[in-house]
Structure 1
Amino acid sequence: MVCFCFLVDQRRKIRRSKPVAGSCSRCGRGASVADMRTATRFCYIPVYWKSWKAIICTFCGAILKSYR
């Protein structure tokens, strides 16, 4: 018996953010703390959501630290 599972995508969305003291270690620009939401979709139907906080760069978008 063969079973195929296809993970269509997993998207991260910034719900809200505010500036924080410090700068990005990669590009040297400003950073902000953000409330993130990850949605996992299977066949274009969202099946799982997870909310978490992260410190992200406002210029390059790199996640510097995450709080799950």
Structure 2
Amino acid sequence: MCVVFLCEVEEKVLGRQQAPGSCPYCGGTVMATDVETSRKLCCLPICINSKRKYSCTNCSRRLETYPSS
């Protein structure tokens, strides 16, 4: 018996805007990008997640935010 799962992950950019602050590595401006990720199993959507990703416009590094305690 062979079971094959066909999974697909699709990312769609919803919008971009300049974020406050500067890059800790090069001092460049930070860009916030809203991304919607949808996971599909055999063309049926399983889950849809929305995230905000931060990146530097000068050095193109992906930046992370840490929750304040």
Alignment RMSD, CA only? 2.8
Percent of aligned positions with the same letter in both sequences? 16
Larger radius of gyration: 2
Matching of residues 18-29 of structure 1 within 5 Å: 18-20=17-19, 21-23=21-23, 25=25, 28=26, 29=28
**Is the CA contact 1:52–1:66 (under 8 Å) kept in the aligned structure 2?**
no
Report the TM-score, using the length of structure 1 for normalisation. 0.57
4+ runs deviating over 6 angstroms = none
Matching of residues 10-49 of structure 1 within 5 Å: 10-20=9-19, 21-23=21-23, 25=25, 28=26, 29-43=28-42, 45=43, 47=45, 48-49=47-48
What are structure 1's unaligned runs of at least 5 residues? none
What are structure 2's unaligned runs of at least 5 residues? none
Report the TM-score, using the length of structure 2 for normalisation. 0.57
